[in-house]
Each structure stands twice: as structure tokens, then as C-alpha cells.
Chain A
Amino acid sequence: MAKIQYPNPKFWKAKDNINWKKQGENLKEVLGIFGGMLKETDWQQFGKDMANVLKADGERIKGEYADFMALDKDEKIDRIINGERSLGRLYRKGAMATVRREWRGIKDTAYDFWEWARMWGMLLMTFSKDLIPAMNSALWYRWMISYFCCHGFMDKNILGLRGSNLRMSHEVTYQIFRYVAENLVLLSKADRKNGNSDELNKMMFTFDEMTMGQIACGFPDLCAIPHQLLPMFLVSEIDQLVCIPYIDAVESFGLPSDTCPVPSSECGALVINALPDMGSLFISSSMPCDGSTMASSYFSRRFPNTPVFHLCFPVRYMDEETVQMGAEDIKACIKKIEEVTGAKWNWDHYFECMKRFNQETDLELQKWEINKSAYPQFIGPSYELFRKWNYEMDGGSDPRVVPSMEKVNKMLLKAYENKETAWPARKMRYRAIVWSCPAHYYANFSNWLANCWGINVLVEMESLNFTKHLETEDKEEALRDLARLYERMVMRRHTNGGYQNVVDECWRQVEAWNAPLVIMYQNVACKNMATVQGMLDEQGRQRGYDLIWVEHDLMDPRTVSRRTMRDKVNEYMRTVKHAEPVDPSLVEFEDEVCM
């Protein structure tokens, strides 16, 4: 079998068909908006605000200098070599970003800067493959603007990290961002409002962001993009405020505000035409939950010319009686893709990717083994996000990922042998797991837990998915395995198919990870989890575990702010655990608009 390059070079080579007249009209509209904004700006106030920022910066620098000078010699050396300790001073009220980058000590700051530059290099190289549609996307979609802050996201996720954990986090973040950048370019190329590449659209199918990407492994000649992942879900983790206009749009349209912000944002973006129009087929999904199921009607309404295949898996997935139905649906989906695109399912390529995916699963399990030990090494939001992306979206399709994971695991084992601690500047005080719909990316929460209270989140519920090796020889069994995998997708494995998967499983994991502290994220709009709240509370209490309930509303911080989330932990730690914070500067700070 001839080696197939990833991503397929013909996707990049597909010819654009930009309608310049339409672009001109859009540009005129955007300039009109900018003009209006400039006209309405109170420049006097703006000047005052800028002066205040400069003044605040001056005072901060003075304060930091004074604090440093007040340290004794050893402490000064420690700060220079190991970095700063009071991270709360990086935040300022009203600022959209931290006031400066973190000082991590000479070696780690230099390394961090290298990674910062490497990331920029990759982004520039990738976007240069077809720059104009990608840049134009920023004029069509406000969510695209938030991607300009992706370095801020990287910084946020590695706040307080040093040594091996920092290096491993950078490595996996790079993998995710490369995927994002490549797909943003392809998305912009294909978008009929923008690059309008007929050639690419014929080769492209899109799928629901909550659907796993493995099915695309059987179609190496096709470009498969999760339709809403980049415009909604992922970007909201970079900028928690980005989905608010979409949520507002759909609620104005009539959707009740008690629904999950994920499908609400998707539907809102569809209502106001803020999603790209691309691909020759859309694969919708009944997963992970009731709200997501319904979003496909909104898609059909917005893009009536794009055929939709509804991939629907049984909910009672532990019941083996249901597996065949899932496998049959996958077959039907493959057939539909073949019909619409003319491409043919390629078993050889699929098996090759699944072998890679199995290898990736093994590498993941190695991380779990280390993190379950007394010396967990690779923890924090970068790892958690990578696990999700790798499991759900990459799924063995990109051959560049395995070497990267091997590199990470090499560092991991070395760090374990050296008995490094995941957060060197701090003492690991509590071992914790995260349960329920995670909010730590939006709120940079697991990072904050470690930096502020020494709570080390070893694993989160959504990482603990399917670890069985997928079949790579028998075709019928391979489809059944694929169905089993899809049924255990992120956000579904625990919340569907019976309470045992989320309640009993929680206690099992607490034991397995030796983590009697559970951060119980409580997404106020998630009915699957809300309906077991009492049970979890009752059984957790009976078992003597510390359950810290943290309400949140995913990408809608207006319902529960990040500060309110932190307060729940602060209160619990002070009143129940009688603990002192590791970094008191992080107990109370303002970050309402900070990405």
C-alpha cells in the first residue's frame, strides 16, 4: 500500500474560488462596524484608562522590585533559578490577559520562550499555506479573532509548571495547536463564504464536534473536519467569553436558558450564520446527550443543501445486545459517505490508523500508571486536553502524534525515575480526581487548584474512556469495536447508559488513583449529571470522601463566574480542611474578562 501523507497534500493544493465581490461587501460591512466603534469610543476616557494602566504597571514593577529586594540572599537565588511564587500578581482587574509572562527561573523561562517561538513558527508556516481565506475568516467570524490569543491559552495552561511537566505540557499543546491551525486553514479554504474551494468541498465531509474522528481513518482521500469544534468548543476554552453572543442569539430565538451551553452555542451560531458553510456531507450525532441530539435540526435549517447523516448509537452501551445496531449504523454512515463523495472505504488505511491508535492507548495507559503512583508526573490542563483531543479527534489518524507521545513518555519515565514532583515549586498536598463535565480549561481550574491549594488533579473523568485495543484484522469485529468506541466517547462514557457508569465508577476511580478528594464539577445545565447529584453526595459522604462541589456553566461565565467557582474551593479548604493556601495571592483575584 502506498504511503498516504497526512494531511493529504491535495487538500492544500485544492484551488480557491473566492468571490471577491462578496469579500468586498463583507469588508465594507466590517469597516463600517469598526468605524462605528471608533466613532463611539470616548477617547478621553480611553486615554485616561491607558494612563491608569501605565501607572498600575509602574506600581506593579516597583512592588515586585521591592518584594524581591526584601528577600534574603538564598531566597533571591531561589527565585532567579526556580521562578516566582506569587502568581496572583499576574492578574489585573479589567485586563484581558495576564500583565506579563511568568518568570519560571532561567532555564525554564528560556525553554518556555523557545516553545513560544516554535509555536509561532508552526502557526506562521501553516497559515502561509493559504493565508488569504484564513485571514478573511477573521472578517467573517468573531470566534476567529479569539484564536489570535492561542499563545495566551498556552501560557495559561502551564502557569506554575516547571521541569519535565512543563516540557511535556508544551509538547502536547504543540500537537493540538498544529491540528487546530491546519484545520482552520482548510476550513477557511472550503467555507463557501470565504475560500469557496469547490475542489476541496467535494473531498470534504464534516461531522458533529461531539462525534469521534476515527471514521475518517477509512477515507484517507477525504478531508474530515469536526464542524463546530474549532468555531465553538475549542475556541471557548481559549476565550470563555467568545460564545456569549451565540448563546444570547439562540436564547433570543426562543431556546430555554437551562440547556447546555455547548449545543446552545452551536445552535446560536447557526441562527446568526456564524458557522462556515463547507463540505459535501455533515454527519450529525445523537451523542453525547439529549441537547446535542437536537442541534442537527438547526444545522439542516441553516444549510439545507448539505445532506446530513445521523449517526445514532444505542444509549445502553453496556448491553452487548445493542452493539450490532451501532455497527450497522457505522456501515450505513460509510455507505452514505461513499455515495455522496464517490470515495471508497479503505480498510488497509483504517487498520493502519487503528494500530496507531492502539499504540497511543498503550502510551496513555503508561501515563496513568505513573500518575497513580506516589510520584505523578504529567498532570495539569495541557495533558487533560491532549488526552481528549487524541482520543476523540486524532484517533490514530496523524502519524506525527505517536513519536510525540513517545517523546513525552520518555520524559515521563525519566522524571519518575528521578522522583520529580509535578509542581516543583510547591508541595503536593492533596491527590484529587475531577468528576463530571469538566470546566478546568475555561477556568484554568486544575492549574489554579494546584498553584493555590496544592490540590493535584491526577486525572479527570473524561480521560477515563475506552482502553480496549481495537480490532485490526476482522472487518466485522472492527466495526463492532468502532461502535463500542464511539459509544464511549468523551462526555458520554460516564453520563449515559446507567448510573453505575458515573456513580459506582467514581468510587472505583477514587480507589484506583488513591485520591479521596473529588472536584465535583456541577454543570448547572447538564441534566445527566444533575440527576445523580443526590446519589453522589450521599454515597460520597458514606465513604468519607471529600467532595467539593463546584458549580459552573461551561462557556457561559455569566451564570457562574470563575471567581465564584474558586470561592467554592476556598471555602471548603478553609472551613472543612482547615488548610492554608500554598499561594495566598491566588485566593482572591479579578479575572472576569481575562482569557
Chain B
Amino acid sequence: MKDLKHLIYFESLLENADNELVKKAQADGGIALGYTCFHIPEVLLNVDNCFSTRLRAPNTGSIDIATYYMSNYTCEYARALLERAIEGGYQFLDALIGVDACSMMNRSMEHFEILQVNDKPNFFVTHCDMPFKITDYTLDGYERQMQVRVLDRLHEVFGVDVSDAAIRKAVEEHNEVCRIISEIREMRKKANPVITGYEFHILNLVTYVCPKALILPYLRETLEELKHRRPDRKSPFRARVAIVGSEIDDPNLTKLIEDVGALVVSDRYCFGSTPGREVIELKDDEPALRQICLHYMQVSECARYISDEKVLQRRETSDRLAKEFGAEGIIYEQMKYCDYWGFERALVSHIMSEEYGWPVLSIDRLYNNGNSGQLRTRVQAFVESLEIKRIHKEEGKK
């Protein structure tokens, strides 16, 4: 396939948290709000002149200092962020919107405060409490946390307009991003799609890390380009897989999987497009904030949601996506040391195989995986097993 016009530019935007578009937005008076977790409604961080940037630590090398503070058997993502923060990589942030959803990420953000990694006079870190299930009272609690811990703080510290109208305006812009990404995502359902998993991963990631207004023109153009893009006559891939699991902000993982012949057709993981790129439908007769909170609770696929219906939802979503996108197998993955996904992966990888009938590859992985020979071998073996299954199936038909 012909290269996408902006792919190299998009890749360059992922090289640094403080990328070209972030700098431009700040130069124009934008307030940069860092966040990591899906539990924080991204759209609330894009009200008025604020813009959200989901934190990554690209090109992470040594994380020794963070390891001193957080020990060596904790989430590498959380440690990589702290290391980058100590190095000064998040000096550009105006505030960090944290959640106490998983203990390791929470501690990482607490270190931002204690070690004073950002010396902007108004910089603050806020920690929000997150619900474990969906009920009226947990929605009340969630809404209250977002109001008090996020919106009120933004208004108090930066004078941000956090009115209902401002929130609705942010939702409109957010929804346009979601529509474009969803339309591109639909293209992956085709037998020989016009976009690879890697390209989609890059596209989706830039929507999380760049100011929405500034990335939108590039997205619109890319969508048009994809509509006219011609796929290779014969797909170079040997199998189609869906990925399900914890945080992946490293497109090299998708690249690694695709390099050994498995086209990634669905991305049901944190930082992926499901959840995250669903359009938020707002009713006019209800406050926007409450509707947004409910939306995020409902679409969340985080393993932290403990209630039976959410546990089932996660399994059903994985099954539905794998079916809709024509996957032949599912890769269940977790960031090493992630307790939520560690327990979820171990159990559900069995359930998806035994009850839903999916071939499953179950892996735990590091934050940076591009060069993992072990992982490559495991994916290769999985691809071969999928091919063998296909052959057997075809033989059975004959």
C-alpha cells in the first residue's frame, strides 16, 4: 500500500510528550492537562482553553531512579512516567489529573508532587476517587469527584470556563475526533483492509496525546486519503487477531505482532479505540457532566470494574469485537505487575477459549516491547496455530 501522507509526521508527534502540537497550543494560551487513566473523562480536560494530553514516556530507557522510589516489581508504565518526570519531560504540564484507580499509577503521580518535578507556580496534581460499579450513588460520587477535583480546581486555579455550555462545546469537538476514528476503524473489518493495525495505532494515539483542535485537520485529511487508498492485491498477513487487555501506548508492540504475520484488527485495550473513541450522545435536558460521567462508566472496559454485569460486559465486548472485525484469535495481554489485568487475563483467557471458543494467546509484557524476541516467538507460534486451525477447518469442510 502507498504510505499515508502524514504517517511520519504522526510518528514524530509520538516521539515526545511535549510534541510540536502541544507546544503550539500552549503558545496560543492553551492549558496542558496531563492524565493517564480512562476513568478521567478526557472530554472534561478539553473545556475552554484547556487541552488534554494522555501521558506516555516514549523511548524509555533506564528507569533506575523511579525504581529506587517505587521498587522494581511495580508497573513499568507508572515507573517510566515518574522517571520521565524526574528527567523534566513533563515540565510543560500545567496540571496533572490523577485517579486513585490503581495503586501504582496513583503512587507515581504522588511522586510528581513530593519530588516537585514541575516547578510551574500553579502546577497541581489532583487525585480523584473512582467507582467500582455502576449504580445511582456511584454515579453521584463520580460526578461529584469530577466537579470538585477537576472542574472546580481548573476554574479556581486557571479561571477556566467549566460551564455546561463549555463542556458541551468540548464534547462536540471530541465527538468529531471519535467519528473520524470510528469511521477509520470500520475499514478494518474488510477482508483486506486499507489500513494496518500499526497505522491505526499511530492514528489513534495521536488523538490522545495532541490537542484536539490541532490534530483534527490532519485526521480529516487522513480519513479522505484512506477512503481512496488501495490495499495490496494480496494481504501480506497470515492471520487476523484482536488485542484485549491493559495499557498499550507503544505502537511497536502492534508492529511486532504484525511483523510476524498477524494483522491487528481490533484494539480493546487502554489507550486503544475501544473504549475511548465512542461518540458521546448528550441530551439537552440533563446536565452534561452527569451524562458524560455515565457514558464513561458504561463504556469503560477496565478490569477494575468489579460488578458482575461489567465482568460479563468485558467478555462480551471482546467476543463481539473479535467477531465483528473478523479476528481468528485473541491476544490477551497485560502490563507486567498489573494486578487488575493479571487476575483478569489469567481467568478470562481460559473463559474466552473454553466458553467462547476463541484461540487465545495470553501474555504479560513490559512497557517497551519492540525488541522482545520472546514475545515475537510466542506470537509467531500463535500465528502458526491459527493457520493450522484454518487448514483443519478447510479440510473438515471438504
**Segment 242-257 of A: residues with Cβ below 8 Å from B:** 250, 253-256
Q: Which of B104, B307, B311 contacts A527 (CB 8 A)?
A: B104
Note all chain A residues with C-beta closer than 8 A to B300: none
Q: What 1/0 mask marks residues of chain A from 522 to 559 whose CB sits below 8 Å from any chain B CB?
A: 00110110111111000000000000000000000000
Contact, CB under 8 Å: B344 / A297: yes
Q: Which of B69, B133, B140, B334 contacts A533 (CB 8 A)?
A: B69
Note all chain A residues with C-beta closer than 8 A to B304: 290, 293
Contact, CB under 8 Å: B306 / A290: no
Closest to B113 in A: A499
Q: What 1/0 mask marks residues of chain B from 144 to 185 whose CB sits below 8 Å from any chain A CB?
A: 110010000000000000000000000000000000000000
Contact, CB under 8 Å: A300 / B311: yes
Q: What 1/0 mask marks residues of chain B from 284 to 315 whose CB sits below 8 Å from any chain A CB?
A: 00000000000000000001101110010000
Alpha-carbon distance between A258 and B73 when the two chains are bound, in angstroms = 7
A267 CB-CB contact with B under 8 Å = yes
Contact, CB under 8 Å: B132 / A319: no
**Smallest beta-carbon distance B181→chain A, Å:** 30
Contact, CB under 8 Å: B339 / A290: yes
Q: Which of B70, B128, B138 contacts A325 (CB 8 A)?
A: B138
B191 CB-CB contact with A under 8 Å = no
- The size bracket of the interface on A is 35 or more
Contact, CB under 8 Å: A295 / B343: yes
Note all chain B residues with C-beta closer than 8 A to A253: 346-347, 350
Alpha-carbon distance between A284 and B103 when the two chains are bound, in angstroms = 19
Q: What 1/0 mask marks residues of chain A from 137 to 170 whose CB sits below 8 Å from any chain B CB?
A: 0000000000000000000000000000000000
**Smallest beta-carbon distance B366→chain A, Å:** 13
B130 CB-CB contact with A under 8 Å = yes
Contact, CB under 8 Å: A321 / B148: yes
Alpha-carbon distance between A329 and B141 when the two chains are bound, in angstroms = 11
Closest to A291 in B: B339
Contact, CB under 8 Å: A286 / B100: no
B107 CB-CB contact with A under 8 Å = yes
Note all chain B residues with C-beta closer than 8 A to A499: 107, 110, 114
Contact, CB under 8 Å: A254 / B362: yes
B127 CB-CB contact with A under 8 Å = yes
**Segment 261-297 of A: residues with Cβ below 8 Å from B:** 263, 267, 284, 286, 289-291, 293-297
**Segment 339-373 of B: residues with Cβ below 8 Å from A:** 339-340, 342-347, 349-351, 362, 364
**Smallest beta-carbon distance A91→chain B, Å:** 31
Given contacts A312-B306, A325-B140, contact A254 B71 (CB under 8 A): no
Contact, CB under 8 Å: B336 / A258: yes
Closest to A531 in B: B107
Alpha-carbon distance between A558 and B170 when the two chains are bound, in angstroms = 54
Q: What 1/0 mask marks residues of chain A from 349 to 371 whose CB sits below 8 Å from any chain B CB?
A: 00000000000000000000000
Note all chain A residues with C-beta closer than 8 A to B129: 314-316, 319, 322, 325
Given contacts A259-B339, A291-B339, contact A297 B311 (CB under 8 A): yes
**Smallest beta-carbon distance A258→chain B, Å:** 5
Note all chain A residues with C-beta closer than 8 A to B347: 253-254, 297-298, 301
Note all chain A residues with C-beta closer than 8 A to B350: 253-254
Note all chain B residues with C-beta closer than 8 A to A528: 103, 107
B222 CB-CB contact with A under 8 Å = no
Q: What 1/0 mask marks residues of chain B from 306 to 339 whose CB sits below 8 Å from any chain A CB?
A: 1110010000000000000000000000101101
B131 CB-CB contact with A under 8 Å = yes
Note all chain B residues with C-beta closer than 8 A to A525: 73
Note all chain A residues with C-beta closer than 8 A to B351: 301
Note all chain B residues with C-beta closer than 8 A to A316: 100, 127-129
Note all chain B residues with C-beta closer than 8 A to A258: 73, 336-337, 342
Contact, CB under 8 Å: B141 / A325: yes
Q: Which of A284, A294, A329, A530 contacts B343 (CB 8 A)?
A: A294
Q: Which of B102, B103, B137, B308 contacts A328 (CB 8 A)?
A: B137
Note all chain B residues with C-beta closer than 8 A to A498: 100, 110, 127
Given contacts A253-B346, A256-B342, contact A524 B308 (CB under 8 A): no
Contact, CB under 8 Å: A530 / B306: no
Contact, CB under 8 Å: A497 / B342: no
Contact, CB under 8 Å: A312 / B132: yes
Note all chain A residues with C-beta closer than 8 A to B311: 297, 300
**Smallest beta-carbon distance A309→chain B, Å:** 9
Closest to B107 in A: A531
A496 CB-CB contact with B under 8 Å = yes
Contact, CB under 8 Å: B137 / A293: no
Note all chain B residues with C-beta closer than 8 A to A495: 103
Closest to A530 in B: B71
Contact, CB under 8 Å: A297 / B343: yes
**Smallest beta-carbon distance B139→chain A, Å:** 10
**Smallest beta-carbon distance A158→chain B, Å:** 35
Q: Which of B138, B148, B306, B340 contacts A284 (CB 8 A)?
A: B306
**Smallest beta-carbon distance A184→chain B, Å:** 28
**Smallest beta-carbon distance B389→chain A, Å:** 21
Contact, CB under 8 Å: A294 / B339: yes
Alpha-carbon distance between A495 and B346 when the two chains are bound, in angstroms = 25
Alpha-carbon distance between A295 and B346 when the two chains are bound, in angstroms = 11
Q: Which of B69, B71, B100 contacts A315 (CB 8 A)?
A: B100
Note all chain B residues with C-beta closer than 8 A to A312: 131-133, 138, 306
Contact, CB under 8 Å: B145 / A531: no
Note all chain A residues with C-beta closer than 8 A to B345: 254
Contact, CB under 8 Å: B336 / A533: no
Closest to B114 in A: A535
Alpha-carbon distance between A343 and B101 when the two chains are bound, in angstroms = 35
Contact, CB under 8 Å: B308 / A325: no
**Smallest beta-carbon distance A298→chain B, Å:** 6
Q: Which of B74, B141, B306, B362 contacts A286 (CB 8 A)?
A: B306
Q: What 1/0 mask marks residues of chain A from 494 to 519 whose CB sits below 8 Å from any chain B CB?
A: 01111100000000000000000000
Given contacts A298-B347, A534-B68, A534-B70, contact A329 B342 (CB under 8 A): no
Contact, CB under 8 Å: A531 / B70: yes
B135 CB-CB contact with A under 8 Å = yes
Alpha-carbon distance between A496 and B144 when the two chains are bound, in angstroms = 20
Note all chain B residues with C-beta closer than 8 A to A321: 141, 144-145, 148
Alpha-carbon distance between A260 and B340 when the two chains are bound, in angstroms = 12
Q: What 1/0 mask marks residues of chain A from 296 to 311 whose CB sits below 8 Å from any chain B CB?
A: 1110110000001010
Contact, CB under 8 Å: A250 / B114: no
Q: Which of A293, A328, A534, A535 contacts B340 (CB 8 A)?
A: A293
Given contacts A263-B343, A293-B340, A499-B107, contact A315 B133 (CB under 8 A): no
Contact, CB under 8 Å: A291 / B343: yes
Contact, CB under 8 Å: A527 / B74: yes
**Segment 255-300 of B: residues with Cβ below 8 Å from A:** none
A125 CB-CB contact with B under 8 Å = no
Note all chain A residues with C-beta closer than 8 A to B334: 256
B interface list, Cβ under 8 A from A: 68-71, 73-75, 78, 100-104, 107-108, 110-111, 114, 127-133, 135, 137-138, 140-141, 144-145, 148, 303-304, 306-308, 311, 334, 336-337, 339-340, 342-347, 349-351, 362, 364
A-B contact pairs, 29 of them (CB 8 A): A250-B346, A253-B346, A254-B350, A256-B334, A256-B336, A259-B342, A259-B343, A284-B306, A290-B102, A290-B304, A293-B340, A296-B306, A308-B308, A310-B308, A314-B129, A314-B141, A324-B140, A325-B141, A328-B135, A498-B100, A499-B107, A499-B114, A524-B73, A525-B73, A527-B73, A528-B103, A530-B70, A530-B73, A530-B74
The 8 closest A-B pairs by CB, nearest first: A294-B343, A534-B69, A531-B107, A325-B141, A328-B137, A312-B132, A254-B346, A290-B339
Known A312-B138, A325-B129; further 18 A-B contacts with Cβ < 8 A:
A254-B346, A290-B304, A310-B308, A312-B132, A314-B129, A314-B141, A315-B100, A321-B148, A324-B140, A325-B131, A325-B138, A328-B137, A329-B138, A332-B135, A495-B103, A499-B114, A527-B339, A531-B70
A interface list, Cβ under 8 A from B: 250, 253-256, 258-260, 263, 267, 284, 286, 289-291, 293-298, 300-301, 308, 310, 312, 314-316, 319, 321-322, 324-325, 328-329, 332, 495-499, 524-525, 527-528, 530-535
